[in-house]
């Protein structure tokens, strides 16, 4: 039986990359996917590609910095499918780069508002429905929160995601009595639109073949290729399903063995 037969999963941050792959995996594995992101046109496009007849998807434009919009997305799951079993948090601000010396702390606050507080807002909005029969909260974090990459500097992103991983432990204790599990997936470099763009841009600026840039990334992996958005989506679906019913408060690295803990 597919992992998510008859289950409904809210997926925040559905765009062209990981969020799309997570939503597609939910439908593939028998579930209903409720899609949220800020741009409705992107949601409509994703839903049409994932579920052409519209039987297993619903969507609503959602900014996770707005508590009311989070509540509306959670309510859509119950309105359309009669239940909510899991939420997978993909929505994040990951495009601000830099370290401490060049930090704009006003922007850091905004990154934290999206990545940390936005995820917590969306989680809280889902709690009434999740408490009805138990369920799962899956946070997409980042390997950068436990080991800084040498290729790019994303201190604000890493700090916000690190705080979210720390919050996971408290949430797992708090929500466990309601049979709600809380876990985090920590991707490393994963092949999808953002990394494709990085490889193309780096190759262009350094005037080297894209294969050379990709080799720099893969040569540090225990496995000889990058994980993909699809690999990370599969890990999220596993944690959203009852196959992981005894797993909570855990962080799972999906990184082709670049970092082992």
Cα 234-77-15 angle, rounded to 5 deg: 50
HSE of 233, CA atoms in CB hemisphere, 13 A: 24
Main-chain dihedrals φ then ψ at residue 3, nearest 5 degrees: -60, -35
Beta-carbon contacts of 129 under 8 Å, excluding residues fewer than 6 positions away, are: 74, 77, 78, 83, 84, 135
Block residue for tokens 């899956």: 138
CB 35 within 8 A of CB 15: no
What letter does residue 34 receive in the DSSP assignment?
E
Distances (CA, A) of 87 to 91, 109, 132, 169, 203: 11, 24, 14, 17, 37
Helix axes 229-240, 18-28, angle to 10 degrees: 50
Calpha distance 1→248 (Å, rounded): 23
Catalytic residue of the set 157, 169, 198, 204: 157
Judge whether 157 counts as a catalytic residue: yes
CB 37 within 8 A of CB 90: no
Calpha distance 244→125 (Å, rounded): 23
Main-chain dihedrals φ then ψ at residue 241, nearest 5 degrees: -95, 170
What residues does 136 pair with on adjacent strands?
A: 86, 181
Catalytically annotated residues? 157
């Amino acid at each position: 039986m597919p992992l998510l037969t008859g289950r409904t999963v809210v997926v925040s941050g559905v765009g062209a990359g990981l969020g799309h792959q997570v939503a597609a995996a939910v439908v593939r594995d028998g579930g209903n996917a409720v899609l949220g992101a800020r741009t409705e046109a992107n949601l409509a496009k994703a839903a049409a590609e994932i579920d052409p007849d519209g039987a297993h998807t619903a969507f609503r434009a959602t900014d996770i910095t707005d508590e009311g919009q989070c509540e509306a997305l959670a309510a859509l799951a119950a309105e359309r499918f009669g239940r909510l079993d899991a939420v997978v948090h993909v929505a994040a601000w990951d495009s601000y780069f830099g370290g401490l010396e060049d930090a704009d702390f006003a922007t850091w606050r905004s990154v934290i508002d999206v990545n940390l507080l936005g995820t917590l807002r969306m989680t809280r909005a889902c709690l009434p429905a999740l408490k009805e029969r138990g369920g799962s909260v899956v946070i997409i974090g980042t390997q950068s929160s436990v080991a800084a990459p040498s290729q790019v500097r994303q201190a604000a992103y890493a700090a916000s995601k690190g705080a979210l991983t720390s919050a996971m432990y408290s949430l797992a204790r708090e929500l466990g009595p309601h049979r709600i599990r809380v876990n985090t997936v920590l991707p490393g470099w994963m092949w999808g639109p953002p990394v494709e763009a990085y490889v193309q841009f780096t190759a262009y600026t350094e005037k080297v073949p894209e294969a050379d840039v990709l080799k720099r990334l893969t040569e540090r992996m225990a496995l000889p290729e990058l994980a993909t958005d699809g690999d990370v989506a599969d890990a999220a679906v596993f944690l959203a399903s009852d196959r992981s019913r005894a797993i909570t408060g855990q962080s799972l690295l999906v990184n082709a063995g670049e970092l082992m803990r």
